[in-house]
Chain A
Amino acid sequence: MSSTIENVDRVSSLPEEVVSHILSQMPMKFAVRTSILSKRWRYSWTLVHNLDFDDFHPVYGLDCFSKFVDGVLELCKTPEVILFRLCFSEIWVRRSSASKWINEAVRLNVRELDIQVILLELPISLFTCKTLTKLRLDCGVFDLDVWNCPSPVALPCLKTLDIAVSREPSASAFKLIHGCPVLESLSLQVLWRNDEEEYNFNIPTLKRLRLITMKCVSVINKVVLNLPNLEYLFVGGILCSLFVMVDLSSLVKARVSYFEVRFSDMLVELLKGISGAKSISWSTSTTDIPLDAPLPKFPNLKHLDYKGGRFWSGWPLIPQFLESSSELEDLRIEELDESCWIEPQSVPTCMLTNLKTIELAKCKGNKCDVQFMEFVLGNVEDPKTVTITCERLRQNEEMRFCAELLKLPRASRHCEIHFVGTRSRTII
């Protein structure tokens, strides 16, 4: 087979396994469409092991889509399904249909199930599926009686669980969680917390946890984390819970991303709980509720990623973080808007010893940025990399900013600033 012949149909001569692997990497709709390419392609799609049904492409009504899924499941010849995805965010699927489809997927030894459908009834077989390793359930806000979670739940292989519940997770989500003996990664989104229910996370195998509360009433609840092997914690949404950390001894990275904090005490408690982390990613507004208490010490913290964003400015906390983290090596500050930079009383220890990488991302060249850089450049003994990235600045504004940075005195002679503008990069 000479590669100089240009019009040879090579793709059709690939082995069937490879062809079905290719077709498995696209939504089902496109895979099925290959059935009219040619004779050879007529039934290749039936060996696809990923059944991915989404409605991100135009469809022709609920009925048609329903029938399409039915048809595919009937004709599909693969003995084992690896991924089964139902992602109809715009279409309300008939309850019994979705349940039937999931049941069929379970029957085909599905390993990953991704259900994002409004209005859904879950088949009992799902809760005792022996092959399931990954489950995602996001049924929108209307999940009324979705969760007729039977007891007992037994999912012996489930390692990743990603669920969104509209309320009362104990009735559903926690039941599910307790039925997973090898759970390693859990994401729980509570869309509306309307009671004082205590959330108790007691999962020895868990390595990653994401806990988000989107809306809640004004009652505080308690969240107990007894997760000795947890390495990554992501908390976000509204902070309206008191975190009690029984055991977070393995924590490596924490991400705190609240758009609303009800009580600043809760935030401090949370910070105390994650104070052993090596890396923290912070994007939480504290302007409305200034912190009364000082921050706890972060003895292991090496990386701090501090994000601003349009809705929250957060300069005030930076000096506190710097003061509390003597081992800090990398500091990254993103998109902080105009505010004032208040210089700390004394130079934070980390700047004198460990701080190596400083990055100002999505910078707008404000006065506080310059002031901050002045403080940094004047005090950091041995910076390895200083990077400033600007976005959406006009050429003249960029140049002005650059000029101001150039004027700043530097503690270290070897210090170079990598300036990344919208169109060019320079080293100053």
Chain B
Amino acid sequence: MSEPDVIKPEMMRSYIWLQTADGSIQQVEQEVAIFCPLICHEIHAGMGSSKTYPISLPARVNPVTLSLILDYCRFHQVPGRSNKERKSFDEKFIRMDTNRLCELTSAADSLQLKPLVDLTSRALARMIEGKTPEEIRETFHIPDDLTEEEKLEPLKNITDDPRIRLLNRLYARKRKELKEKEKLKNVEVEAEHVDDRSVDELLSFINGENGDSKEVKTVKNKKKNRRRKDQQKNAPVCTISNSSAAPNNAIKESNGISSVGHDDRVKGHCLPNINELLKLQDSEDDRFGLEDEFDDCDIGDGIDPEIKEQIDREVEDFARRLNSDWPERVQELLSLGQERRPSLYTVNGNGCSARRSSSTGVEKHEK
């Protein structure tokens, strides 16, 4: 406790000592400090009662944000305030530049001060919603490190599995190459399939509402998909060694797609279970262990040529099937590990058919 020259009643309060990561120590009224759950725990553990044993605050709390947090706590810990007063305080409190707001969010989170995290999150959310990606990047200085290709790529099931990430990147590259090949050919404008539209519109929808650019992107995507379909139809029998069911399915699919009248699915729909499939193929781990080197866009480097060839073949096949139906794709991917786990299909077969009515819808179309 501090020792004032003149002891006034209001100074006879307990003070808590806090230390921020930069080493500076300050004292705060106890009733204010205990508003932060983390500090409260520390106090109960016996810390902070003197200058020699201050409570060490997490690294994310610097002196400036600490002072803001304490202002917040000082106001809100007073029990008699009305909701209106608190709301009014919050609205004024939250007015600060985005940098400070982010720092404050981070600090409040590390101190487990949930009401403040909620308040700052909502403020940040208001800054994000309704803005175009460009505007958001500008507001927060987010680096624009996705390639155009990646931005247009349909979102697939995310996973930390390095094989999926690798495959996704390779597919993207392969698609690009196919697109370039098609530029040499003469393609007529065809009627659009609903399947095309679904992903394209989802993408444009995801990518933003800029009228013109959206339409351009949509048209571009449609052309891309159409060319790919042509490629599919013209492609010879698939050269993937361990995929026996492939050729028939390819032809079937093309027909299947053109007869699809209405369809609730999105491309990403089918992939959720691939993760499980590939995880089970443990011995494949070694081959794909090189994934750490692939974190940048240029995936050409550092791949074992033998693996590369195998991957290329798989990628070509996968690229061909980008519009394909779920059951066929499962079969293919399973065939990668068919020797090892023949029972896989049953497990996922059940999962597949139980999952959505739309997959039974697909089966109907195949007939």
**Footprint of B on A, CB under 8 Å?**
1, 3, 6-15, 17-18, 21-27, 29-30, 32-43, 46, 57-61, 63-64, 66-68, 70-71, 74-75, 77, 94, 96-97, 100
Contacts and interface: CB of A to CB of B under 8 A. Distances in A.
Given A18-B121, A37-B133, A70 B265 contact: yes
B102 A11 contact: yes
Contacts of A7: 141
30 contacts: A1-B103, A9-B140, A9-B141, A10-B106, A13-B102, A13-B106, A14-B106, A18-B105, A18-B109, A18-B121, A21-B118, A22-B121, A22-B128, A32-B206, A33-B208, A36-B146, A37-B142, A37-B144, A43-B158, A60-B204, A63-B194, A63-B198, A63-B201, A64-B198, A67-B264, A70-B265, A71-B269, A74-B268, A75-B155, A75-B156
Nearest to B267: A71
Given A22-B128, A34-B128, A68 B202 contact: yes
B145 interface: yes
Contact of B117 (A18, A37, A74, A100): A18
Nearest to B297: A39
B205 interface: yes
Interface string B23-64: 000000000000000000000000000000000000000101
Chain B CB within 10 A, most for which of A15, A27, A60, A77: A60
B121 A25 contact: yes
Contacts of B146: 36, 38-39, 42
Nearest to A46: B158
Contacts of B265: 67, 70
B103 A22 contact: no
B124 interface: yes
A36 B151 contact: yes
B186 interface: no
B137 interface: yes
Contacts of A21: 117-118, 121
Nearest to B110: A15
Contacts of A70: 264-266, 269
B206 A36 contact: yes
B157 interface: yes
Q: Is the interface of B mostly helix, strand, loop or mixed?
A: helix
A66 B202 CA distance: 10
Contacts, number: 154
B133 A71 contact: no
Contacts of A23: 125, 128
B357 interface: yes
A29 B142 contact: no
B140 A74 contact: no
Contact of B142 (A1, A11, A32, A75): A11
Given A15-B106, A21-B118, A32-B206, 11 more contacts: A9-B143, A12-B142, A33-B206, A36-B206, A43-B155, A57-B209, A63-B201, A71-B202, A74-B268, A75-B158, A75-B272
B181 to A, nearest CB: 26
B194 to A, nearest CB: 7
B98 interface: yes
Contacts of A58: 209
A408 B105 CA distance: 55
Interface string B179-203: 0000000000000001001100110
B143 A38 contact: yes
B109 A3 contact: no
Contacts of B137: 37-38
Contacts of B357: 96, 100
A367 B2 CA distance: 64
Contacts of A67: 198, 201-202, 264-266
B122 interface: yes
A102 B201 CA distance: 23
Contacts of A100: 356-357
Contacts of B157: 74-75
B67 interface: no
A36 B205 contact: no
B197 A27 contact: no
- Give me the 6 closest cross-chain CB pairs, A-B, nearest first: A10-B102, A26-B129, A71-B266, A25-B125, A43-B158, A30-B129
Contacts of B62: 1, 3
A37 B100 CA distance: 21
Contacts of A1: 62, 103
B202 A64 contact: yes
A10 B143 CA distance: 11
B144 A8 contact: no
A300 to B, nearest CB: 23
B99 interface: yes
B129 A41 contact: no
Contacts of B194: 63
Given A14-B106, A18-B109, A74-B266, A9 B209 contact: no
A46 B155 CA distance: 11
B155 A33 contact: no
Contacts of A32: 206
Nearest to B208: A33
Contact of A27 (B105, B129, B133): B129
Contacts of A13: 102, 106
A7 to B, nearest CB: 5
A409 B61 CA distance: 61
Contacts of A18: 105-106, 109, 117, 121
Interface string B222-266: 000000000000000000000000000000000000000010111
A22 B124 contact: yes
Given A22-B124, A71-B202, A15 B264 contact: no
B20 interface: no
Contacts of B124: 11, 22
Contacts of B117: 18, 21
Nearest to B131: A30
B11 interface: no
Contacts of B145: 38-39
B124 to A, nearest CB: 5
B207 interface: yes
B148 to A, nearest CB: 10
Contacts of A71: 155, 202, 266, 268-269
B102 A29 contact: no
Interface in B133-169: 133, 136-137, 140-146, 151, 155-158
A37 B118 CA distance: 23
